[in-house]
């Protein structure tokens, strides 16, 4: 036997670091980085703990069947064979489909970003579609909506979800609500290499987390006000002419004329001279007249450089003269309302820093960017993401080397069964009526809509769950709906703003039972500024209570001087005990809980996507009461 090195990758999180498994006498003993693999420069501590996770006594290796009724203190788990498990499940699911329609079964999966499901999720979708259910619940609205689906409404493509940052060739890297040092190691190592060759880095984060310490600009934004910051940056770039006019004219709808009277795009069919009803219209500043845009050919009859981006232009229509403005002029007017000084008062980012960052974005392009859950878990996520997408378009870096690009993938046949689901079944996705542009349009069910269907039978009862692991106007800034500013009635009692971030040692609700990881981070933590703590009689390391209008949960105080004094940052996912270290678990619901989501609520959610406001809630922090005994 001896020692074998098996080329593989770590599937524990989205980074999927290239690795070599060291197998000694048939036993998996270590995981090592594989620098010859594109993502193999390094492994994090979780990857290094892989053998411990594989051998962990709590790891489930066989199907278990509940033998006591739900609610019983002991579920009475009994091991069964795979055949029995599969036959039982198949029979029950087919009965539900027969009696209530296949849509009554919701399929659910943990996020591929926090598990090995990325390799299996296409097969799960094939199963779901072949079964006939339009409902996949994977909390797309919490960490996938902005990167993937909301951006489709700006680009027609998923940016930066599918069009990834080309770190190797970027002149400037922009990370917004994203900490790759914790969340995606391969992006962190790629960024460090880019910095070494002179690339600039801009980080927007309420905390000086990860690479923020090495950034040329770290913008300490008040949680949930990122949309205002994006509009202010756009304002500066437009006012100073720091934008790629050629890209904007050729590749965006910026030159298209919008009618002042209706606010709608002018169509060639509206023109007195007549024209193709489906064609849009721009203003030829050289010829001094309207020109049609053929969407099928993607072309104007004149060189794009002649198209006006500003000004009011009177166009002769069948209903008389109509004043029109290029769409870009409307964007500029909207952004003019968000001058840096105003944005400073809303976001806490100094106006001078906004100016300088805009200059860096322009002068150091191509810009490669990534945004993630710092932006996703808000009541205003969709508009924030749209504002950032609009800003990014101005850099002209979309789909260019060093910007955000579609990397070549290994050619494989799609196996997700996209054609297997009949359109009439697809239309039944839960939540589609409530949010027609939201995740349900793409067969994703939000947590909110799933629970409404289960508890209230609205719009129809969800009876089965197959669980794998767990045209608004231009973008406008909207204050988070449950912040001290939007809810002054609550601000007196809850003056602080609660956000959250992922810890390096664990994925979401997992891994607290793995000794080598838990020993580095034994307790749930809440980060706060030392002055905020001192004002409440809290010392570093004290147990404290994080209080919101929905109750309180416990955590240990950890000081972080990079935070605004009004902002505190908690951690999600604490419940497991670690028997090996004798460290406790925490009840998910009862007093003494450390479950952050116990004191947060789904509502008020983002009107388009249903994203939950987990990152900008009113709160306070108080010293923990002494034990009653």
Ligand X SMILES: Nc1nc2c(c(=O)[nH]1)N[C@H]1C(S)=C(S)[C@@H](COP(=O)(O)OP(=O)(O)OC[C@H]3O[C@@H](n4cnc5c(=O)[nH]c(N)nc54)[C@H](O)[C@@H]3O)O[C@H]1N2
Q: Find which of Mo ion, ligand SF4, ligand X, none residue 463 binds, CB within 5 to 8 Å per kind.
A: none
Decide: 360 and 216 in contact? Cβ < 8 Å. yes
Region near Mo ion per CB under 5 A, out of 104-112, 254-262, 537-545, 566-574 = 104-112
Q: How far apart are CA 309 and CA 225, in angstroms?
A: 28
Closer to ligand SF4 by CB, 9 or 131: give it: 9
Count the site residues for Mo ion by CB under 5 A. 3
CB of 185 to ligand SF4, least distance (A): 4
Minimum separation from the CB atom of position 143 to Mo ion (A): 3
Closer to Mo ion by Cβ: residue 184 or 249:
184
Q: Which one among 108, 111, 360, 547 touches Mo ion, defined by CB under 5 A?
A: 111
Contact assessment for residue 606 and residue 381, using Cβ atoms and an 8 Å cutoff = yes
With a CB cutoff of 8 Å and minimum separation 6, the contacts of 393 are 154, 155, 247, 248, 251, 252
Per-residue burial over 336-361, b = 16 or more CB atoms within 10 Å of its CB, e = otherwise: eebbbeebbebbbbebebbbebbebb
On the CB side of 422, how many CA atoms lie within 13 Å of its CA?
6
How many Cβ atoms are within 10 Å of 529's Cβ, its own excluded?
A: 19
CB-nearer residue toward ligand X: 266 or 598 = 598
Closest CB 283 distance from ligand X, rounded Å: 37
* Nearest distance in Å: CB 51, ligand SF4: 13
Q: How far is the CB of 12 from ligand SF4 (least distance, A)?
A: 4
16 binds, among Mo ion, ligand X, ligand SF4, none (CB under 5 to 8 A by kind): ligand SF4
Q: Enumerate residues 6+ apart whose C-beta is below 8 A from 462.
A: 104, 105, 106, 135, 430, 450, 453, 454
CB of 602 to ligand X, least distance (A): 11
Pick what 10 binds: ligand X, Mo ion, ligand SF4, none; C-beta below 5 to 8 Å, kind-dependent. Answer: ligand SF4
Task: Identify the residue whose tokens are 């030829």.
Answer: 284
602-607 long-range contacts (CB < 8 A, ≥24 apart) are: 602/447, 602/448, 603/448, 604/379, 604/481, 604/482, 605/141, 605/379, 605/446, 605/448, 606/141, 606/378, 606/379, 606/380, 606/381, 606/382, 607/382, 607/435
Q: Which does 206 bind (CB under 5 to 8 A by kind): ligand X, ligand SF4, Mo ion, none?
A: ligand X
Residue closer to ligand SF4 by CB (options 322, 507) is 507
User: 523: helix, coil or strand?
Assistant: coil
d(CA 510, CA 501): 15
**Dihedrals phi, psi of 505, to nearest 5 degrees:** -80, -15
Shortest spacing between CB 116 and ligand X, in angstroms:
3
C-alpha–C-alpha distance, residues 285 and 191, integer Å:
43
Looking at the Cβ atoms of 357 and 425, the one nearer to ligand X is 357
Q: Binding of Mo ion at residue 143 (CB under 5 A)?
A: yes
Residues of this chain that interact with ligand X (CB under 6 A) are 13-14, 110-111, 113-117, 139, 142-143, 176-179, 182-183, 204-207, 209, 221, 223-224, 226, 372-375, 468-470, 499-502, 504, 506-510, 569, 572-573, 596-597, 600, 614-616
Task: State the minimum distance, in angstroms, from the CB of residue 188 to Mo ion.
Answer: 17
194 interacts with, out of ligand SF4, ligand X, Mo ion, none, CB within 5 to 8 A per kind: none
183 binds Mo ion (CB under 5 A): no
Q: How far apart are CB 233 and ligand X at their closest, in Å?
A: 13
Long-range contacts of 26-29 (CB under 8 A, 24+ apart): 26/1, 28/54
Residues that bind ligand SF4 (CB under 6 A): 10, 12-13, 15-17, 43-44, 46-47, 185
Between 235 and 572, name the residue whose CB sits nearer to Mo ion: 572
**Residues near Mo ion, by CB under 5 A:** 111, 113, 143
């Amino acid at each position: 036997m001896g020692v074998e090195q098996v080329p593989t990758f770590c599937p524990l999180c989205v980074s999927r670091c290239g690795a070599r498994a060291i197998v000694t006498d048939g036993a998996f003993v270590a995981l090592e980085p594989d620098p010859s693999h594109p993502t193999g420069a390094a492994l994090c501590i979780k990857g290094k703990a892989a053998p411990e996770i594989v051998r962990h006594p709590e790891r489930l290796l066989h199907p278990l069947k509940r033998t006591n009724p739900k609610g019983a203190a002991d579920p009475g788990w009994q091991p069964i064979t795979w055949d029995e498990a599969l036959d039982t499940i198949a029979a029950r699911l087919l009965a539900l489909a027969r009696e209530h329609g296949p849509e009554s079964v919701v399929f659910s999966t943990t996020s591929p970003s926090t598990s090995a499901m990325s390799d299996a999720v296409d097969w799960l979708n094939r199963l779901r579609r072949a079964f006939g259910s339009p409902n996949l619940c994977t909390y797309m609205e919490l960490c996938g909506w902005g990167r993937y689906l909301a951006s489709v409404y700006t680009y027609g493509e998923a940016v930066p979800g599918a069009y990834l940052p080309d770190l190797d060739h970027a002149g400037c890297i922009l990370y917004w609500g994203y900490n790759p040092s914790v969340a995606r190691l391969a992006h962190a190592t790629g960024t460090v290499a880019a910095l070494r060759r002179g690339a600039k880095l801009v980080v927007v984060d309420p905390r000086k987390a990860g690479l923020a310490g090495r950034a040329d600009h770290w913008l300490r934004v008040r949680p949930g006000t990122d949309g205002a910051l994006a509009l202010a940056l756009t304002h500066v770039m437009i006012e100073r002419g720091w934008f790629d006019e050629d890209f904007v004219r050729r590749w965006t709808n910026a030159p298209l004329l919008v009618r002042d009277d209706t606010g709608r795009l002018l169509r060639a069919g509206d023109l007195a001279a007549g024209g193709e009803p489906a064609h849009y219209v721009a203003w030829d500043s050289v010829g001094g007249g309207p020109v049609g845009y053929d969407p099928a050919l993607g072309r104007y009859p004149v060189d794009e450089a002649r198209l006006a981006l500003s000004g009011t232009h009177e166009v002769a229509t069948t209903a008389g003269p109509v004043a029109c403005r290029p769409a870009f002029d409307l964007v500029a007017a909207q952004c003019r309302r968000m001058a840096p000084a105003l944005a400073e008062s809303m976001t806490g980012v100094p106006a001078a820093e906004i100016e300088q960052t805009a200059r860096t974005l322009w002068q150091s392009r191509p810009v490669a960017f990534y945004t993630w859950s710092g932006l996703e878990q808000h009541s205003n996520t969709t508009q924030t993401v749209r504002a950032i997408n609009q800003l990014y378009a101005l850099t002209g870096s979309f789909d260019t080397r060093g910007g955000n690009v579609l990397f070549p993938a290994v050619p494989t046949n799609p196996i997700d069964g996209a054609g297997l689901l009949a359109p009439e079944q697809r239309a039944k996705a839960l939540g589609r009526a409530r949010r027609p542009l939201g995740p349900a349009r793409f067969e994703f069910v939000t947590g909110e809509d799933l629970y409404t269907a289960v508890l209230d039978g609205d719009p129809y009862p969800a009876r089965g769950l197959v669980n794998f692991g767990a045209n608004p106007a231009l973008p406008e800034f909207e204050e988070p709906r449950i912040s001290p500013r939007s809810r002054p009635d609550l601000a007196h009692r809850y003056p602080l703003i609660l956000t959250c971030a992922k810890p390096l040692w664990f994925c979401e609700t997992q891994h607290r039972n793995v000794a080598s990881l838990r020993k580095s981070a034994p307790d749930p933590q809440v980060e706060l500024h030392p002055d905020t703590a001192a004002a409440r009689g809290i010392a570093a390391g004290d147990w404290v209570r994080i209080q919101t209008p929905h109750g309180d949960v416990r955590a240990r105080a950890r000081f972080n001087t990079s935070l605004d004094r009004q902002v505190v940052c908690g951690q999600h996912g604490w419940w497991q005990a670690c028997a090996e270290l004798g460290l406790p678990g925490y009840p998910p619901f009862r007093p003494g809980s450390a479950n952050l989501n116990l004191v947060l609520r789904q509502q008020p959610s983002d009107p388009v996507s249903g994203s939950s406001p987990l990152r900008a809630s009113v709160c306070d922090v108080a010293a923990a009461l002494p034990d009653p005994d």
